[in-house]
Amino acid sequence: MKTKCFAIAVLIVLSFAAFSYAAEDKLANFTFEGVSLSSSLNDFQRRYPSAEFDAKHSDATVDIKSYMVLPTKTADAAVYCFYQNVLYQIYIIYFPDTIEKMGGMGAVIDKLKNTFGLADNVDKQEGNTIATWERPESHRRVDFSVIPKKSAGFTVVDTAIESEIQKRRGQLIDSPVSVPVPAPKVEPKSQVPDRDLIEVGADLLKGIRQMRENWENRTSKTVKILRASLEISFLSDTQSDVLQEYLKTVERLHAEGMSQFNGIERDLMEPTSIRIRYQRLKQLDQEWKEAAKEFVRRGREVGLQ
């Protein structure tokens, strides 16, 4: 019932709130964390050298390359789509914890209204709410979608380029030239790449729970050793500071990791959510390893054994 009321509330607020749209077209100059539509791929890669190529949102047949950044400064993930090396679409993803940190869904909706005015269209599809703002004069469109209790997505698109891509796709479909389609390659289960873990199917939940158990065991052992070490009476202040700093790092990484595991188990039917959370877990695991190496290095410097 709460979920239903929430969806209705989003619909009402976006559609009928008494707000007058400002004359300035803020979509024309929209930027997300310093990146604007029409940015070049080279400029983007200089800003985000570690951005990961996103095959799911790429299409070589029409020269689209997409890259994922996760997390960003303000969102859980963002997908940047380039057409002929020019940015034409940004898809930004927010999970519930992040939305709460932003002040809750009400605050997010208020910010959208204050920035873009009333939505031009609000629709409900299978319990989800999608609001759309369109600015034909500047060739811009924004879609804001809400999946109650799971995620919210914000997409801004250059509609002129989007139209050109659609025409190219139509020409490919109508072309009399036969394009051979290779048979899908079936890899042995043990060779499935990490990024495709979500496609494994029935073994997914079992695998995630095993990962979670390993994560919890590592935290438990590490925290136990660190806290026991802090009880040693002859520690110097410097040694104690190094131990406490690493303990805080471990506890922070553990908390964020558990949040991702909980989200995966909630969203087993949402492949995109699982994929983003799984990639974030791999990042956290790497951050943990680097923090451990730094702790060992600093520990030696201050005489910890």
Query: Residue range 111-127: average pLDDT?
Result: 81
- Residue whose C-alpha is closest to residue 39's, from 80, 91, 92: 80
- Share above pLDDT 90 across residues of the chain, in percent, rounded to a whole number: 18
What predicted TM-score, i.e. pTM, was given to this entire model?
Answer: 0.63
Query: What pLDDT score does 190 carry?
Result: 37
Q: Which residues pair with 250 in a beta bridge?
A: none
Query: What pLDDT score does 275 carry?
Result: 77
> How many CB atoms neighbour CB 112 within 10 A?
19
Q: Is the pLDDT of residue 281 over 90?
A: no
**What's the number of CA atoms in the CB half-sphere (13 Å) around residue 203?**
9
Contact criterion met (CB below 8 Å) for 49 and 144: no
Average predicted confidence (pLDDT) for the chain? 78
Please give the DSSP secondary-structure letter assigned to residue 140.
E
Alpha-carbon dihedral sign for residues 190, 195, 197, 200 = negative
Query: Residue range 58-64: average pLDDT?
Result: 91
Query: What pLDDT score does 279 carry?
Result: 82
- Residue whose C-alpha is closest to residue 279's, from 155, 189, 190, 194: 194
Q: Is the pLDDT of residue 258 over 50?
A: yes
Query: What pLDDT score does 267 carry?
Result: 67
Q: Is the pLDDT of residue 105 over 70?
A: yes
CA 132 to chain centre: 21
Q: Three-state DSSP class for 128?
A: strand
